[in-house]
Amino acid sequence: GAGVSQSPRYKVAKRGQDVALRCDPISGHVSLFWYQQALGQGPEFLTYFQNEAQLDKSGLPSDRFFAERPEGSVSTLKIQRTQQEDSAVYLCASSFRRPPHRETQYFGPGTRLLVL
């Protein structure tokens, strides 16, 4: 079946512009994660959804970052008033079951954001 998909794959934004990044998880997956990967670094956790509930947003770097998953499937990560330090690859991952099951996370291809 289809894996996790993300769109757009590439986004160039001017500083101060708002952007929205979309994630389509694998159908039926309960858990959805967003990660940020800066150049030369490993992915860093941003936020976690269990169905439509955002249970952990401890990794969001500022209040300019906002994520939602209103119907428990597709998720959107929104960044307001983008800054140059927001330039990174944004990864989405999903897994089938909820905790305490420690399931494999399946990653999307990522959205590469460049803020000029």
Partner 1 sequence: AQRVTQPEKLLSVFKGAPVELKCNYSYSGSPELFWYVQYSRQRLQLLLRHISRESIKGFTADLNKGETSFHLKKPFAQEEDSAMYYCALSGLPGGGNKLTFGTGTQLKVEL
- Residue ranges in contact with partner 1 by CB under 8 A: 3, 31, 33, 35, 40-45, 48, 50, 55-56, 59, 91, 95, 99-100, 102-110
Residue closer to partner 1 by CB (options 79, 93) is: 93
Q: What is the pairing mode between strands 10-13 and 111-115?
A: parallel
In the complex, the smallest distance separating the C-beta of residue 90 from partner 1, rounded to whole angstroms, is: 13
Between CA 105 and CA 16 the distance in angstroms is 32
- Least separation in angstroms between residue 116's CB and partner 1 is 24
CB closer to partner 1 out of 84 and 104: 104
Whether the CB-CB separation of 21 and 90 falls below 8 Å is answered with yes
Instruction: Pick the closer one to partner 1 by CB: 14 or 102.
Output: 102
42: closest CA among 83, 78, 89, 79? Answer: 89
CA distance 46 to 51: 16
